[in-house]
Amino acid sequence: MCGFAGVFSRDLPRGILYQIADKMSDSLSHRGPDDRGNWTDYNLGLSISHQRLSILDLTISGRQPMVSQNKRFVLAFNGEIYNHFDLRNDLKNNFQINNWRSSSDTEVLLECIACYGLRNTLRKVVGMFAFSLFDREQKKLYLVRDRFGEKPLYYSFINNESSFSFCFASELVAFKFHPNFERKISTESFLQYSQFGYLSAPNSIYENVFQIKPGHLIELDLSKPFTNYEQEEWWSLLSIAKESSQNKFSNQNEAIEKLEFVIERAIKEQSIADVKIGSFLSGGIDSSLVTALLNKNTNNLNTFTIGFEDSKFDESRYSKLIAQHLNTNHFESILGTDELLEIVPDLPIIYSEPFADSSQIPTYLVCREARKMGLKVCITGDGADEIFGGYNRYLWSKRIWNYVSWLPYNLRFLLSIIIRRLPNQFIDLIAKVLYIDKCQHKLLKLADRLNSVKDIDGLYLSLISIFPNHKLPINETFNSANNRYLNPANQVKSFFENDINEINTMMLSDSIGYLPNDILTKVDRASMAVGLETRAPFLDHRVLEVALRLPDQLKINTKINFGTKIILRKILNKYIPNKLIQRPKTGFGIPVGEWLRTNLKDWSYEIINQKNSYFYDSKFTKKLLFEHNYRNFDHTEKLWSILMWELWFKEHD
């Protein structure tokens, strides 16, 4: 993994241009602590700087920005091309390229572009990436992002009275080092964050700074006015899903065999590195399957997990049992509350944008501890929940809606009150019968939404939202701008012209929304903060193509316990006995709600009770904190999102 930044300007003095690009890049040194480089065209006014985390070819031969052998293209690359060996052989056989300067995948990508062109190369490559490509012949600059959005890339037009610049960078923090950058909060992005706890591409938290969307590129002609640029979708998850819906597997055994083959192929390709590699092992379905298949082809596989002293949140015992069964070289770190809490003040720096998924804390810590153990690359199970149906909302939403949709509003409101007042003992009984982890939290979340949703799409939106029914605790300043964002389910249904069922609507909505903007953002920033590369075999697009051909019953079965990710469980049963994996799904949780009542009580009160919060309604947020601390309600998600915003704003204002 790496980080890079660049500046193009016809107005800035050339020496200053180089300095700006270097300072922007230096702010990303955590993403690439092993090497750095710069390429500048002083006549044109373009400077690109790169920070490298060396994974393939650890020598200076892999330094970037890299210039193609024909001198036409300049590449700054962040990511991995997993099929680079095949592409290298292809270039050797078809174009007689033998005089390679390095063994890096960067050079293979660059020479593929030189031989096949950018768009043809994108169709050939398998990997995760974000890169800038400058065509010196046509004076065109391209910014490209991978299919799922595993790697980030931002851009901005920055101007004042005397100069105009186009800038790009791997993280938002880099733009602060352009002297003319104005940190003006985007109202639309603030509202989006308040609703979901994260930001969705193409938005960033600042006005006039944008993200390249997953599967997209932009093309900027540097010989023409700045406003002349084009955006292009070079890969579409929804298009693949629509095509696959007409080509479903009819034979279950064929589906299982094909899926296991493509997952194992992805794992083999992603396990290639010139550094120490390991696997995150949480003890769940996804990481256990990845580890089992990786273990087939790896000697003395390193597996790693973290655990917590608080036994209610500690899953490390499951990881240990699976590691023992697979006979891996297993490491674990058991962390105390103090070690978790000390990360909180650093979260705005680690994530650079406001981000309110509280699993950001254990995600960062597992990356940090793995890096301490000498690992530089870790394989993960990310993406499986969205692609294979792993979330409980897929299992229960339709059933719940069928039960309550016929009720008049007044009765639904009454049901909401009854659920809120259920004794804990009764909720615990429900959890045991239905195999639902954290049942109280989920029931209260459902109760909070029952009296406002009008259809199952609205129920889905409310379940992925922090505040139901757009009831955001924002100041009156923003009221006129409310409701700008759309339900991702509407985008999916519109694309399919409503010819799609509820479960697939939710899964695809999560795949284009929650997955890239929450899950992948969380993992990228956490791992890059400590110089660790993570790889996700389930996000190989060839795995997705097979997954989308699976009939629904091989993903979700509402009639059985543990009725999610059916096909992954079937494959995993070949390697690990049921008794080690059959248990309720758990998230990567920590006791944030209880912290807000104890260890973080003074801190949260200080932030919530500050005199001036331009963004949030002070009276409303104080009420949330009071109700939470006196255990009238569980407002953990709501309070955490407000606190993370205020903490970020204080750090970056």
Q: Give tens-digit pLDDT for 201-253.
A: 999 999 999 999 999 999 999 998 766 789 999 999 999 999 998 899 999 99
Least confident range of 373-377, 491-495, 523-527, 573-577: 373-377
Grade residue 506 by pLDDT with cuts at 50, 70 and 90. very high
Cβ contacts of 392 within 8 Å, gap of 6 or more? 436, 442, 564, 585
Q: List the beta bridge partners of residue 167.
A: 7, 156
| Statement: 245-388+506-580 belongs to CATH 1.10.357.10 | no
What is the DSSP-derived secondary structure letter of residue 632?
Answer: S
Q: What is the mean pLDDT of the chain?
A: 88
Average pLDDT over residues 53-68: 79
Pairing between β-strand 164-169 and β-strand 140-145 as defined by DSSP bridges: unpaired
pLDDT at res. 526: 95
Ranked by mean pLDDT, the top range of 134-138, 366-370, 462-466 is: 134-138
Cite the residue boundaries of each domain of the chain with CATH code 3.60.20.10: 2-235
Contact yes or no for 212/201 (Cβ under 8 A):
yes
220 vs 590: which has the higher pLDDT: 220
| Tokens at 587, concatenated | 């998230």
Contact yes or no for 188/203 (Cβ under 8 A):
yes
Assessment of whether the complete model's pTM goes beyond 0.85: yes
Contact yes or no for 401/450 (Cβ under 8 A):
no
DSSP 459-510: HHHHHH-SSGGG---B-GGGGGGTT-S--HHHHHHHHTTT-S-HHHHHHHHH
Q: What is the CA radius of gyration of the chain?
A: 25
What superfamily in CATH does domain 2-235 come from? Answer: Aminohydrolase, N-terminal nucleophile (Ntn) domain (3.60.20.10)
Contact yes or no for 1/528 (Cβ under 8 A):
yes
Q: List the beta bridge partners of residue 89.
A: none
Tell me how crowded residue 410 is: count the other CB atoms within 10 A of its CB.
9
What is the DSSP-derived secondary structure letter of residue 178?
Answer: S
Average pLDDT over residues 534-545: 97
Cite the residue boundaries of each domain of the chain with CATH code 3.40.50.620: 245-388+506-580
pLDDT at residue 439 is higher than 70? no
Least confident range of 140-149, 256-265, 478-487, 564-573: 478-487
pLDDT at residue 438 is higher than 70? no
Grade residue 36 by pLDDT with cuts at 50, 70 and 90. confident
Is the peptide bond preceding residue 348 cis, with omega within 30 degrees of 0?
no
pLDDT at residue 613 is higher than 80? no
- Give φ, ψ of 78 to 5 degrees: -125, 115
Grade residue 507 by pLDDT with cuts at 50, 70 and 90. very high
Chain mean position to CA 253 = 32
Contact yes or no for 273/53 (Cβ under 8 A):
no
pLDDT at res. 336: 84
Grade residue 309 by pLDDT with cuts at 50, 70 and 90. confident
Smallest Cα–Cα separation from 209: which of 174, 161, 236, 234? 174
Cβ contacts of 417 within 8 Å, gap of 6 or more? 447
pLDDT at residue 525 is higher than 80? yes
Least confident range of 370-374, 402-406, 643-647: 402-406
Smallest Cα–Cα separation from 146: which of 586, 520, 428? 520
Contact yes or no for 350/525 (Cβ under 8 A):
yes
Helix 456-464 and helix 502-512, axial crossing angle in degrees, nearest 10 = 30
pLDDT at res. 210: 97
pLDDT at res. 444: 66
